[in-house]
Amino acid sequence: MTDNIILGQKGETLAQQHLETEGLKILAQNWRTGRAEVDIIAQEGNIIVFVEVKTRSSDRFGPPEFFVTPQQKRMLAGAASVYCEQIEHPGEIRFDVVSIILRDDGKAKLEYLRDAFWPGL
CATH number at residue 43: 3.40.1350.10
HSE-CB of 49 using CA atoms within 13 angstroms: 25
Angle at Cα 104 formed by Cα 101 and Cα 109, nearest 5°?
25
What's the CA gap between 69 and 82, in Å, rounded?
20
Averaged pLDDT, 33-41: 95
Range with the poorest average pLDDT among 24-33, 48-57, 59-68: 59-68
54: in domain: yes
100: in domain: yes
pTM of the model: 0.92
Q: How many domains does the chain have?
A: 1
120: in domain: no
119: in domain: no
pLDDT band for 103, please (50, 70, 90 cuts).
confident
36: in domain: yes
pLDDT band for 121, please (50, 70, 90 cuts).
low
Domain housing 80: 3-113
118: in domain: no
What's the CA gap between 37 and 31, in Å, rounded?
5
Amino acid identity at 1: M
In this predicted structure, what is the pLDDT of residue 102? 86
